[in-house]
Structure 1
Amino acid sequence: MDNRSGSVLVLTNSSDVTADAVLRVLAERRVPVVRLDPGTDLHTGASLTATYRTGGQRGTLRTSSRELDLTAVRSVWVRRPSSYQGPPDLESQDRRFAASQAFWGAGGILASLPGAHYMNHPWNNRAAEYKPAQLAAAQRCGFQAPETLITDDDREARKFTARHAGGTVYKPVWNSPYSVDGQARSVWVREVRSREITEAVRVCPHMFQAKVPKVFDTRVTAVGDRLFATRVDSPDLDWRYRQDRMRCSPIDIPAPVAEAATRYLATFRLAFGAFDFAVTADGRWYFLECNPNGQWAWQPAETTHRIALAIADELEGGHGQ
């Protein structure tokens, strides 16, 4: 079946303005699109059904405005759907049970649509989000990466920081939600010294990296085989901390970095990836991480538009592209 004539299914939350940039392009091209936030919509009128039997499977997604044959989906864009939390009117234990059933049931259906092209498949997204796996793959694919220690041993952490005269930084291995007095807080990348490291490290794994003597950062957004690079100049070690103070401009990608990025995407079977690099004065690009579902609409307008067009091409082409 040629799914290039079918619908594009976009899984994201209702306030995702980044997705809107691509949906506008698809609308201009008259590509049919169904937008769904399964974590919430399936509790507010939408329904999902799948039938499996010898010889094939069938499935239907019903929303307040349409009915979608799941075998006719050409592409699935897994953007930023809400987590499965269960109906809010249930008691805590029942709600947790319902959320778990939705994750494994609805999530499993949406991750197993026959013939659909995924960007990215949710299971590939999850595999590519582990920082240790990223660093291991980066080395195999030919990237340069700063020396890194992940440990829950404070003695090892102190030895690591003492060994790097150029400095050491700390970053979380996962962007876990954290709040103080009910207010959400972010844990930014920051420099750390041996004397600051205490036995509190033993609570969980911590990630320490040799500080790169960078002169600027670079974001490389990969869509299929197309790469879009933006130079980021910021007064902060972590440019995300005060984005109003950063300056962005286009930059060319060295061929070895582009080739390594292609190998990296193939390793995790990704159609999209947001790479972050620290670039030194002598032109070395150090791999920091690759977010398989990173934000990209904060970049200069021309770059953002080109990325939106590339994503629309990927989704419109479907599995047969």
Structure 2
Amino acid sequence: MVAQSVGFNVPRTCISNDPQDIRAFVEKADYKVVFKAFTPAIWEDLSERQFVTMTSRPDKELMLDDASLSYSPAIWQEEIKKAFELRITMFGEVAVTVKIDSQATDGGKVDWRAAGHDIPVNDHRLDVATYNCCRRLMQSLGLAFGSIDAIVDQSGKIWFLEVNPSAQFLWIEDINPEIDLLGPYLHMLAGHELGTATPRLSEVLADEEYLSFESALRETHEEAISSFKSYE
């Protein structure tokens, strides 16, 4: 695995839709695992409530259902007991790191996305060794941009989960305006020719017409998030 080769700790992992392989992996881990489908699904019931699949803990009923395991290719990993989580957004060799305090939420302990915009997000100073792992990972994969998700366990050890080369990132600055992500992004696009005169997200979104549009969009988003049901 590339992440391990550049120095990251990676949880034991099984990527499969073979029921026997999955059961063997889960039993070896004493059922202390989580799983994430390759392709997320969002749907509505007859009352227009929205549902979404997220990273979840399996139950015994699922583990006995060959059809569900076979028809849903997934990433299975040993569950790491979290202290908090990191989102490391790489713009070239510039890393913007935030601490996601998922364990302080009611619904986001297994998958912080389930907490929506209520998730606590704060600036975090990344240690040099982990930054170098991130830089080597991006170089090895040939990526100029990517968002790296990691867990910090209760002993302070950092565990790599994934890197997303097309991840959303301005939501971080939206939740916490003190964290600048738009600036590094513009620098990357412009080849670092913008100097220091890059706008902040709050300035870009100051137009009244856009603010009206964004407000309506946020209301729709919050309604959807509030009706999500995570299979935790």
- Which is richer in strand? 1
In structure 2, distance between residues paired with 1:312 and 1:267 = 23
- Evaluate the alpha carbon distance shift between residue 211 and residue 271 of structure 1 in structure 2; reply closer, same or farther with a 3 A threshold: same
How far did 1:196 drift?
2.6
In structure 2, distance between residues paired with 1:246 and 1:318 = 32
TM-score after normalising by structure 1: 0.52
Q: Which residue of 1 aligns with 2:93?
A: 225
In structure 2, distance between residues paired with 1:313 and 1:160 = 44
Choose from 58, 61, 73 the match for 1:192: 58
In structure 1, distance between residues paired with 2:30 and 2:70 = 24
CA deviations over 1:66-106 (Å, ceiling 9, x no partner): xxxxxxxxxxxxxxxxxxxxxxxxxxxxxxxxxxxxxxxxx
Choose from 127, 134, 158 the match for 1:254: 127
CA deviations over 1:149-173 (Å, ceiling 9, x no partner): 1112212212211221371101012
Choose from 197, 205, 209 the match for 2:77: 209
Is the CA contact 1:148–1:210 (under 8 Å) kept in the aligned structure 2?
yes
How far did 1:193 drift?
3.8
Q: Which residue of 2 aligns with 1:179?
A: 43
In the alignment, structure 1 residue 315 sits paired with structure 2 residue 189: yes
Choose from 5, 14, 19 the match for 1:149: 14
- Evaluate the alpha carbon distance shift between residue 159 and residue 147 of structure 1 in structure 2; reply closer, same or farther with a 3 A threshold: same
Aligned residues: 181
Query: Counterpart of 2:191 in 1: which secondary structure?
Result: helix
Q: Which residue of 2 aligns with 1:84?
A: none
Query: Runs of 5+ in structure 2 lacking a partner?
Result: 194-232
Q: Which residue of 2 aligns with 1:30?
A: none
Query: Runs of 5+ in structure 1 lacking a partner?
Result: 1-135
In structure 2, distance between residues paired with 1:316 and 1:178 = 36
Residue type of the alignment partner of 1:308: L
TM-score after normalising by structure 2: 0.71
Structure 1 runs (4+) greater than 6 angstroms displaced: none
How far did 1:181 drift?
4.3
How far did 1:137 drift?
1.6
In structure 2, distance between residues paired with 1:166 and 1:214 = 17
| Percent identity (aligned) | 24
Choose from 25, 36, 58 the match for 1:160: 25
Is the CA contact 1:146–1:209 (under 8 Å) kept in the aligned structure 2?
yes
In structure 2, distance between residues paired with 1:310 and 1:178 = 32
